[in-house]
Amino acid sequence: MNMNGGQALMKALEDEGVDILFGLPGGAILPVYDPLIDSSIRHVLVRHEQGAGHMAEGYAHATGRPGVAMVTSGPAATNIVTPLCDAYMDSIPMVVVTGQVPYAAIGTDAFQECDTTGITMSVTKHNYLVTEAADIPQVIHDAFHIATTGRPGPVLVDIPKDIVDPNNPRSAMEWYTPDSHDLPGYHPNRAGDSELIRQAAKLICEAERPVIYSGGGILKARAAEALLELAELTGIPVVTTLMNRGGFPDDHPLCLGMPGMHGNYTAVTAMQEADLLIALGARFDDRVTGKVAGFAPLAKIIHVDIDSAELGKVRRPDVAIQGDCRLVIEDLVKALGELGGNESQPDRNRWRSRISGWQERFPLTYEQSKDDELLKPQYVLEQLRDATPDDTIVASGVGQHQMWTSQYWKFNHPYTWVNSGGLGTMGFAIPAAIGAKAGRPDRMVWAVDGDGCFQMTAQELVTAATEGFPIKVALINNAYLGMVRQWQEMFYEERYSEVYLTRDVPDYKMWAEALGCVGLRVESPEEVGPAIAQANEINDQPVVVEFRCEAGENVFPMVPAGMSNSDVVVDPSQQDRPR
């Protein structure tokens, strides 16, 4: 079948199962936007290319399918670098198509030219500059394969205008359906080594104080059920990192919640005291380990990861297993079964009682607002959690509100938590929530955002309003760049430098309305419940609820940067309790 490169691109995307494309047209990508009109793929017109990238990420987070974005060359390509880096850090499957100046003009500093593949080389799993129209079907097929297999990640495909422009003879091609991949250097491993899995099973049977350290790889590998089986078979408690909230149900008795810099005391301390850490799809990130030399000093390590470069990168494991988390956990369960299953596990009652002692002495806590005070953000999040369905998808920005959401929400289902972990991208929440809603229109989707974050990407609420994505935004307005304010309070002698954003400018209620949303404002605790109820009733429009919160509230517990996790600082009200 004869066609032009632009038609081939749309057909290739359709053949990969793409149902929605987030993008914004411009000069170099213009020819592709014409065959788009005749395509089955829905296009969502964003207001800024960064929004397109984060929407694609949110879609991928919520569905497990690759998110796809398409933008033009030059400034559009540079605008999508942040989402690419975000997806790279958090291993999100994503394919980004960028327009490029005509092939013959590359390198001439043409209008809206930039070296897109050069700029994005270090923030993509792989990228392509396509030089011939005939390469388009194969490159798109390979791009989706690379984005979704092994350790997932973003792949960028840069397409010069001439090979998709029907008026240019270079765009003429014969369609073919690629049926294989010619990638001699790409062999994503799947199963783990069975001998190593037997060694891991033996270590588990010998451990008196084991902890399962579960990371984002659980969700990527769709291994939540396997993890539950492993935990219940062995009775081993589970911590869920920021990237794996929801990968193990918070309401399960074995769940210890989030570890790390703002993890709860029990999760942090159980890892410190453990004699075995079973790291599953986790990468010993500095926000989890604190000072590496002081991290889990008594623990042997079993480390399972699909990416061999993570094994031994930070902490030398005793058993290192490269493989897909789900397959390895399933094999581990079998190996444990051969060793006697539950019967093979030593008596861990003392360990369990130490853990429950920490849970009793050091629960998450905060003080309710006094009469003259504004709202406490933790209170708002508890109310929101209790007033929304159990399978609500929550997206967050980055900062204090993100940590409070992770701490106070009860994540009982996988793929309900959408956040920017590795890169820490402020402004992530709103576009990511839109992408999640696009992927899961049946679910209620709330974005929890801070006032600093909100101002970075609020324009995408126009996209939500006009494209029919009725997301809801809980805006925690504490008038500050709150996490930076907290660090200046704690580590810079309360010398506050450039962190005050003002309380009343912008007027968030009016702004929300101007963006096509319902705007609500809440200032007192008794208004919180009714406002959430009102927002939950609105399904034909996005809603922004501004919660006016206390500025001085800090996130606890906290492990100060560079300190050992054993030096975790608990809430001031708990500081005198015996550890």
**Applying CB under 8 A, does 391 fall inside the site for other proteins?**
no
Give the 3-state secondary structure of 407-421.
Answer: HHCCCCCCCCEECCC
Cβ atoms of residues 453 and 428 within 8 Å: yes
Which of 52, 95, 129, 555 is in the footprint of other proteins by CB under 8 A? 129
| Residue window 290-309: x/- pattern of binding to other proteins, with contact defined by CB under 8 A | -----------------xxx
Which of 11, 126, 437, 548 is in the footprint of other proteins by CB under 8 A? 126
Minimal distance in Å, beta carbon 467 to other proteins? 34
3-class SS at 568?
A: coil
Tokens standing for residue 550: 């206390």
- Tell me how far apart the alpha carbons of residues 243 and 259 are, in angstroms, rounded to a whole number: 11
Report strand pairing: 126-129 vs 154-160: parallel
User: In terms of CB distance, is 119 or 551 closer to other proteins?
Assistant: 119
- Tell me how far apart the alpha carbons of residues 480 and 73 are, in angstroms, rounded to a whole number: 35
Question: Is 111 a catalytic site residue?
Answer: yes
Which of 107, 169, 253, 312 is in the footprint of other proteins by CB under 8 A? 312
CA distances from 21 to 24, 25, 245, 481 (A): 10, 12, 27, 33
CA distances from 270 to 206, 264, 295, 361 (A): 17, 10, 11, 14
Question: Is 112 a catalytic site residue?
Answer: yes
- Tell me how far apart the alpha carbons of residues 182 and 315 are, in angstroms, rounded to a whole number: 35
User: In terms of CB distance, is 146 or 296 closer to other proteins?
Assistant: 146
Which of 121, 298, 510, 533 is in the footprint of other proteins by CB under 8 A? 121
User: In terms of CB distance, is 117 or 402 closer to other proteins?
Assistant: 117
Residue among 111, 208, 368, 523 flagged as catalytic: 111
Residue among 10, 11, 16, 49 flagged as catalytic: 49
Give the containing element (helix H, strand E) for 131.
none
**Applying CB under 8 A, does 313 fall inside the site for other proteins?**
yes
**Applying CB under 8 A, does 104 fall inside the site for other proteins?**
no
Minimal distance in Å, beta carbon 133 to other proteins? 17
Minimal distance in Å, beta carbon 143 to other proteins? 10
User: In terms of CB distance, is 121 or 490 closer to other proteins?
Assistant: 121
**Applying CB under 8 A, does 521 fall inside the site for other proteins?**
no
Q: Which stretch binds other proteins (CB under 8 A): 80-88, 125-133, 243-251, 376-384?
A: 125-133
Minimal distance in Å, beta carbon 155 to other proteins? 9
- How close are the terminal C-alpha atoms of the chain, in Å? 72
Minimal distance in Å, beta carbon 257 to other proteins? 31
Question: Is 426 a catalytic site residue?
Answer: no
User: In terms of CB distance, is 139 or 238 closer to other proteins?
Assistant: 139
Minimal distance in Å, beta carbon 126 to other proteins? 4
User: In terms of CB distance, is 312 or 530 closer to other proteins?
Assistant: 312
Question: Is 161 a catalytic site residue?
Answer: yes
Alpha helix segments (H runs only) across 224-274: 224-234, 265-273
Burial of 553 (0-12, 13-18, 19+ CB in 10 A): buried
CA distances from 413 to 36, 222, 391, 409, 481 (A): 35, 12, 6, 12, 30
3-class SS at 28?
A: helix
User: In terms of CB distance, is 306 or 483 closer to other proteins?
Assistant: 306
Q: Which stretch binds other proteins (CB under 8 A): 121-129, 247-255, 528-536, 565-573?
A: 121-129
- Tell me how far apart the alpha carbons of residues 396 and 409 are, in angstroms, rounded to a whole number: 12
Minimal distance in Å, beta carbon 332 to other proteins? 23
Reference 105, options 69, 131, 127; nearest CA is 131
**Applying CB under 8 A, does 107 fall inside the site for other proteins?**
no
Residue among 11, 125, 161, 437 flagged as catalytic: 161
- Tell me how far apart the alpha carbons of residues 230 and 243 are, in angstroms, rounded to a whole number: 19
**Applying CB under 8 A, does 118 fall inside the site for other proteins?**
yes
User: In terms of CB distance, is 115 or 489 closer to other proteins?
Assistant: 115
Residue with tokens 């493989």: 323
Tokens standing for residue 252: 């399960």
Binding footprint of other proteins, residue count (CB under 8 A): 17
Contacts of the segment 413-416: beta carbons below 8 A, 24+ positions apart: 413/246, 413/249, 414/218, 414/219, 414/222, 414/224, 414/246, 414/247, 415/61, 415/62, 415/63, 415/64, 415/219, 415/246, 416/246, 416/391, 416/392
Which of 117, 171, 400, 419 is in the footprint of other proteins by CB under 8 A? 117
Cβ atoms of residues 244 and 268 within 8 Å: no
Cβ atoms of residues 248 and 312 within 8 Å: no
Q: Which stretch binds other proteins (CB under 8 A): 30-38, 118-126, 168-176, 396-404?
A: 118-126
CB count within 10 Å of CB 273 equals 18
Reference 435, options 75, 55, 169, 9; nearest CA is 55
- Tell me how far apart the alpha carbons of residues 45 and 482 are, in angstroms, rounded to a whole number: 32
Minimal distance in Å, beta carbon 276 to other proteins? 23
User: In terms of CB distance, is 298 or 309 closer to other proteins?
Assistant: 309
Minimal distance in Å, beta carbon 310 to other proteins? 9
User: In terms of CB distance, is 159 or 465 closer to other proteins?
Assistant: 159
| Residue window 139-178: x/- pattern of binding to other proteins, with contact defined by CB under 8 A | -------x--------------------------------
Which of 122, 194, 466, 524 is in the footprint of other proteins by CB under 8 A? 122
| Residue window 180-219: x/- pattern of binding to other proteins, with contact defined by CB under 8 A | ---xxxx---------------------------------
Residue among 89, 444, 456, 483 flagged as catalytic: 483
User: In terms of CB distance, is 122 or 177 closer to other proteins?
Assistant: 122
- Tell me how far apart the alpha carbons of residues 225 and 324 are, in angstroms, rounded to a whole number: 14
Binding site for other proteins (CB under 8 A): 117-118, 121-122, 125-126, 129, 146, 183-186, 307-309, 312-313
Which residues are known catalytic residues? 49, 111-112, 161, 483
